[in-house]
Structure 1
Amino acid sequence: MIVRKKGNYYIFIKQHDHGLLSGELAAQMKQTIQPLAKTLFAISHHDWGWERLDQSPLWNEETNEPYSFDDYPMLPKLEAYTDGIAKVEAHDPYAGFLCSKHYASFFTNIDDPVARKFREQEHNRQNKLRPLFTEGEEANIAANFRLLQFCDDLSLALCLNEPGEQTHPWFENGIQYLGERFRWVWEDQEHLHLAPNLFKQSFVIEIPYQIIDGYRRLIGRETHRFTVIV
């Protein structure tokens, strides 16, 4: 779950909804993506494994705060990662490879034994899948991996900030991609653009969310609706 604190309430955004938004952003890119369908599926479904966990959000009993994706306990998180990658791989091996590469990259410099085992597991998966790809698919792995990471960050920047704001420390200095730094720029609370622009046309995005109070009660379900302008 992606969690924002807002006054006495929490905004919950499901990880898979954030992933689907990542895929929408990728689909609107001006650049050529090859293979298109497989890469978009990977980007859209990279957080598929969180679906089960997000059905029952976990709370930290010591702080009485909900766990977000970044501080979620390691073991169940890695189990969700593994399950999600396997589901994507079952749909398409190339998409599964990209998701495996994405998640393994989280633990490049982490020596935790559980994380190291996960990283090795995913490297083995990648070595098993790689011989299955065409020359064109192989040639585009690096570019499509960078695109997945970039669209993940673009979507997270929208989910972790309040509409009209860009203050979250992860993204306040922009997002690095292809040697440039990109920023979301808000015109108002419903209209924004990416600077520099990478999109082929203006489009509408929606982010469903839940409102939860400090007693862990669901107060309501609403949707942020924005227009990305070019």
Structure 2
Amino acid sequence: MICREQDGAFVMVKQHEHGLLAGEFAKWFKEEHTPAEGRREEVLRAVSNHDRGWIDLDETPFWNDAEDAPYSFIDFPVVPKLTFYRRGINEVEADTPYGALLCSSHFERLIEVSGEECPELTRYLQDEAERRARIHRELEQSWPLEEGELYYDARLLQFCDDLSLFLALSEPGSAESEKHPWFADGFSGSEEFSFTSGRAIQAEWQDNATLTLTPFPFTKEIEVSLKLRRVSRKDIEHKGIALAYKETPEEECRITVISGAGEDDVQVKTSTGERTAG
């Protein structure tokens, strides 16, 4: 679960919902910088499904007493988190082995950044290294990777993941000083795309309905949506996190992505409508 607190409520976004949004961003990324046509559909499916291991886990959120907040993907206990990481990658591999190679590499980077250590984590990293080596061998026999192909696709997944996270972790119209520290200096790694000329893509809210990204990473105006729930602290205190979450109506944040005043800008306009809780 992706969580942030706002005005006495926790804004909660399911991990797979965030992943589907990342997949939409990948779909419209500048064509001259997208994967080779032959493996493009596999890459898009991998980006959309990279967090599918959380699907069942996010049906019922858990409360973190130490933080006085719901557990999120950031502080969820390591051992069960690894179990669901592995499950998700297994499901991706059943659809696309190359996609599993991409997702496995992505999670390895996240684990390295987190600095977590435990015997179960060491074993997980060993198992995933063996998975990647096996997939590499299989691809060499059937469809060898081009030079730099995996590296580029990993950058694409990282950026689309980060942009989707930015929207899930941001209150539209929030001040620059309130920006999540992960994105204070732009989207890490985005400076490696050739169209950025070495600049990290920057995000800035112009008002409560408009976000600009510079440089502009997409080929056209796009429309996406993000489903979320605003679960009040008061309801959690009275009902517990599981029931409060279940009874909170789901909202759909509709997002239109258009080019800004300059060709390097993209504006994201948002509006929110309620849906019946499912």
Find the partner of 2:120 among 90, 111, 114.
114
Query: Bigger radius of gyration, 1 or 2?
Result: 2
Shifted more, 40-49 versus 215-224: the winner is 215-224
Equivalent in the alignment of 1:189 = 208
**TM-score, length of structure 2 as denominator length:** 0.78
Pairwise mapping of residues 1-230 of structure 1 onto structure 2 (< 5 A)?
A: 1-30=1-30, 31-34=33-36, 35-108=39-112, 110-133=116-139, 134-136=143-145, 139-165=148-174, 167-176=179-188, 177=190, 178=192, 179-214=198-233, 215=236, 216=241, 217=244, 218-230=247-259
**TM-score, length of structure 1 as denominator length:** 0.93
SS of the residue 2:211 aligns to: strand
The Cα offsets for residues 94-136 of structure 1, whole Å up to 9 and x where unpaired, read as 0011011111222335442221111111101001111222234
The Cα offsets for residues 70-116 of structure 1, whole Å up to 9 and x where unpaired, read as 00011111111000000000111000110111112223354422211
Q: Percent identity?
A: 37
2 CA distance for matches of 1:47 and 1:14? 9
1 CA distance for matches of 2:148 and 2:69? 45
1 CA distance for matches of 2:67 and 2:154? 36
State the Cα distance separating 1:154 from its structure 2 match.
Answer: 1.1
Equivalent in the alignment of 2:273 = none
Could you tell me whether the CA contact under 8 Å between 2:204 and 2:212 is conserved in 1?
yes
Detail structure 1 runs of 4+ shifted over 4 Å in the superposition.
136-139
SS of the residue 2:152 aligns to: helix
State the Cα distance separating 1:211 from its structure 2 match.
Answer: 1.7
Shifted more, 54-63 versus 108-117: the winner is 108-117
SS of the residue 1:211 aligns to: strand
2 CA distance for matches of 1:113 and 1:208? 36
Equivalent in the alignment of 2:263 = none
Gaps of 5+ in 2: 193-197, 260-278
State the Cα distance separating 1:175 from its structure 2 match.
Answer: 0.8
Gaps of 5+ in 1: none
1 CA distance for matches of 2:256 and 2:4? 21
1 CA distance for matches of 2:44 and 2:18? 14
Q: CA RMSD in A?
A: 1.7
Name the aligned partner's letter for residue 20 of structure 1. Answer: L
Equivalent pairs, count: 230
1 CA distance for matches of 2:132 and 2:164? 25
State the Cα distance separating 1:137 from its structure 2 match.
Answer: 5.3
> Which structure has the highest helix share of the two?
2
